[in-house]
Amino acid sequence: MNAQVTGLHHITAIASDPRQNLDFYTRALGLRFVKKSVNQDDPGTYHLYYGDYAASPGTILTFFPWAGLRRGRPGTGQAYATGFSVPAGSLPFWQARFTKLDVKQQPIESRFSDEVLPFTDPDGLRLELVATSETDPRPAAPAKDVPAEFAIRGFHSSTLALADAAATAQVLTGSMGYKLAGQSGHRARYSAGNGGPGTYVDLLTDPALPRGLNGAGTIHHVAFRVADDATEVATREILLKDGLHVSPVIDRAYFKSIYYREPAGVLFEIATDGPGFAIDEPLDQLGTILGLPPHLELHRAEIEAALPKLN
């Protein structure tokens, strides 16, 4: 039996300076700052969330920023690149914007039937704008100087770099309900649910890639989405039965989560679509207050005093 995973939920990465991180994702990429919270395992550190206006699952890129942290090395055993969906024809706009803003970018590549603009954030995190010929009905992220016709629609894909993809592919297709959607060179693409941008996981087995090392500019984990709590519990049972070491369900306030490592070592999470990011501040004010789970609320004053100022 397969789990009812419907695509990507959020992706969490490691950064160094939190102000630099906030500036890059909101100003250069035009994403909305949708939640300011803390790392629940290290409340002296921020957890910053960016996404579309409504903070929809499938658009949320989050960061644990540790000022001064050394850089990691992107490579095998990691989620290697994060792709955002943008409309076909929008890459010349982004190339010009990145040149103006001194964002490091590489030449456009063709991948399946799409055009891909690889670039990196200030910590060297590998990102891609995927100008897709597929229909992506999701609303544009509302940036004030990025016209809606060019703006990011949310995730397109997460690319995992692996020394050997077989066991990971088995977990995706055998336990999580993913299906093979395409193969090209060292890249195999898998899709979930109804398919399309926001669901894809690409497995990249390029022998030239080094082994990944954790640090600033690398991905911490990839979270997949399920509709509700009951589906999450059922999914957990399936993963346990298939021999994966799965955490209990953890309440992350904005969603409920389970965690496990896929066989190549990439940390996976499965998160519920609800209750969402508007539970502790109104939708039109997301990102304003410091969102804290109930057990940390008692310590709000000390936590706020210890965090660096963001602006």
Interaction site with Zn ion (CB under 5 A): 12, 223, 269
| Cβ at position 289, least distance to Zn ion in Å | 20
**Residue carrying the six token digits 């979930």:** 192
| Other C-beta atoms lying within 10 Å of the C-beta of residue 72 | 21
Q: Which is nearer to Zn ion, 12 or 78 (CB)?
A: 12
Would you call 33 exposed, middle or buried from its count of C-beta atoms within 10 A (0-12, 13-18, 19+)?
Answer: middle
Cβ at position 81, least distance to Zn ion in Å: 18
CB atoms within 10 A of CB 127: 20
- Nearer Cβ to Zn ion (47/111): 47
CB 113 within 8 A of CB 133: yes
**Rounded to an integer, what distance in angstroms lies between the CA atom of residue 193 and that of residue 197?**
11
Nearer to Zn ion, 209 or 239 (CB): 239
CB of 221 to Zn ion, least distance (A): 5
Nearest-approach distance from CB 161 to Zn ion, in angstroms? 20
Q: How many CA atoms lie within 13 A of 75 on its CB side?
A: 13
Rg (CA), the chain: 18
Nearer CB in complex with Zn ion: 106/247:
247
Q: Provide the pairing of β-strand 60-65 with 267-275.
A: unpaired
Q: Which amino acid, 256?
A: K
Name the token pair of 213. Answer: 């090392």
CB 100 within 8 A of CB 115: no
For residue 265, give Cα distances in angstroms to 6, 76, 212, 251, 280.
22, 9, 11, 23, 34
DSSP string of 160-212, one letter each residue: EE-S--HHHHHIIIIIS--EEEEEETTEEEEE-TT-STTSEEEEE--TTPPBP
Q: Is the CB of 12 or the CB of 85 nearer to Zn ion?
A: 12
**Least Å distance between CB 24 and Zn ion?**
20
Closest separation between CB of residue 91 and Zn ion, Å?
Answer: 29
Nearer to Zn ion by C-beta: 199 or 272? 272
Q: Which is nearer to Zn ion, 116 or 271 (CB)?
A: 271
In angstroms, give the least distance from the CB of 18 to Zn ion: 18
**Cα distance between residue 29 and residue 23, in whole Å:** 9
Quote the least distance from Cβ 222 to Zn ion, whole Å.
Answer: 8
Give 127 or 223: the residue with its C-beta nearer to Zn ion: 223
